[in-house]
Chains A and B, each alone.
Chain A
């Protein structure tokens, strides 16, 4: 995304680029329900729907905040800290391309919206199984503006990181590090689940987890492949690297699983896919396919370490968003600083190719983004906590979030269900499951 148009070029819509970006936008939107499925499989069955619904809610909430104000704050103007208000309510967003781009402004806005949506959904992984649904909706609305839009401006919208030369192809800063370090803050403020560290709280459906991870990987081709906003070389490179890096992370994960437990685990494999996709997100259009493979092999190591260590701490960052997104995003951002090649990306070299300054620019982003995301999320949740309770009562937590907040169960059998007839409010004792 460094290719954000600063150069004034002829702004004509290219039909090929636009066709691809329309498809890419749809692919990225699909990642959010896929994430819901991935997360739902990782929780206990009584919290399946609530966990899935947090992702669905992110689509509702973040899309609206993005259209109202988030897009403008991220992409109006190139002030160093935050964008302007000219695009509030999508004012001025129409068919004409943005300066230097070849796709309609509307498509650009829609593509960026899907990023805001999935990032907001990602944070939910830290607080599932105990956060109140209403409090999460409020948090999602504020977080998508105060944290996501600001970091998107820094890295994508011509803010100080982008202007300073930080390379972030598809969102190591606003998506991966932002969600990962915000997740850590959210877990600390909301607190651990009541049985955390005392009882085994196990994933209830590993097939959902694998299917969710597979769909996320599929969608990620739009996420990374679309972040060049064209069908040009950077997009093609990012697209192909999105195939290579996760495959290499999977290999590393298999080996580490074998060393640690003598078995290759399925949920570990699903995690490795996510980690690989995240690793290549910032680097996709900037590093050679060979280095993308190296990133997959090596970058999985710190993520695996954090996933092993984190459950032994008192921090119930439940679905390991920090490890899979924060640490992997951090690693990917730094990796660019070492191995970027102008011969592949047309922009800049990294340290190994004689440009040490690039590593400095990358390190700056790797410090600033986590600090901002962690700090702002911590404060934001503390403030929301002053106005409303953040978490469910112990009794509600025991009963499960699905029944408590949605009045539904994921695996309802119908036995013992008595139909309530709405006309007169009378209760007629006819079991719903009765075939007669």
Chain B
């Protein structure tokens, strides 16, 4: 059981969701984050104030999956988020000690497997 964290471009978030649904990965959380990953910094000017924008908006996906779903999840993130330009994002895979489905109290594999039907 792993926690897959994917940080992607906001404009690719819908493509990632589509790819995840195609891979039958159904449990997803996402949040808006700001980060810096080596992309070119944008210069913006507000009246007399010129600034370099060191942070870019990103979307952070958090997906808890059972082991057999780890690779399909990574593949879906790559497929949905890749443009080939600097700034496409990163994927981190972390071990997951425990997962609990609050509604039923199911744990671990049962908790990260979507309910059928």
**What residues make up the interface of A, taking CB atoms closer than 8 Å to B?**
199-200, 395, 398-399, 403, 407-409, 412, 415-420, 422, 427, 432
Contact = CB atoms under 8 A, between A and B. Distances in A.
Contacts of A407: 42-45
Contact of A409 (B9, B36, B43, B44): B44
B68 interface: no
Contacts of A420: 43, 50-52
A424 B43 CA distance: 16
B52 A417 contact: yes
Contacts of B36: 416
B41 to A, nearest CB: 8
B55 A403 contact: no
A223 B49 CA distance: 39
A417 B54 CA distance: 6
Given A407-B45, A415-B55, A418-B54, 6 more contacts: A403-B44, A412-B44, A417-B52, A418-B41, A420-B50, A432-B49
Contacts of A432: 49, 51
B51 A419 contact: yes
A200 B11 CA distance: 12
B85 A403 contact: no
Contacts of B43: 407, 420
A422 B34 contact: no
A408 B50 contact: no
B93 interface: no
Interface centre among B9, B11, B52, B83 (most CB of A within 10 A): B11
Interface string B45-71: 110011111110000000000000000
Contacts of A415: 34, 55
B52 A427 contact: yes
Does more than half of chain B's interface fall in helix, strand or loop, or is it mixed? strand
B14 interface: yes
25 contacts: A199-B14, A200-B14, A395-B85, A398-B11, A398-B83, A403-B42, A403-B44, A407-B42, A408-B44, A412-B44, A415-B34, A415-B55, A416-B34, A416-B36, A416-B54, A417-B52, A417-B54, A418-B54, A419-B49, A419-B51, A420-B52, A422-B50, A427-B52, A432-B49, A432-B51
Contacts of A403: 42, 44
Contacts of A427: 52
A418 B46 CA distance: 13
A407 to B, nearest CB: 5
A407 B41 CA distance: 12
Nearest to B41: A418
B45 A408 contact: yes
A107 to B, nearest CB: 34
Nearest to A431: B54
Contacts of B49: 419, 432
Interface centre among B34, B50, B51, B85 (most CB of A within 10 A): B51
Contacts of B46: 408, 412
Contacts of B45: 407-408
B44 A418 contact: no
Given A395-B85, A403-B44, A418 B14 contact: no
B9 A398 contact: yes
Interface string B78-98: 000001010000000000000
Contacts of B83: 395, 398
A418 B43 CA distance: 9
Q: Which 4 A-B pairs have the closest CB atoms?
A: A416-B55, A417-B51, A416-B54, A398-B11
Interface in B24-46: 34, 36, 41-46
A408 B53 CA distance: 10
A427 B44 CA distance: 14
Nearest to B45: A407
A114 B115 CA distance: 61
Contacts of A409: 44
A395 to B, nearest CB: 7
A420 B14 CA distance: 35
B46 to A, nearest CB: 6
Nearest to A395: B85
Contacts of A199: 14
Nearest to B52: A418
Contacts of B55: 415-416
Contact of B53 (A395, A398, A416): A416
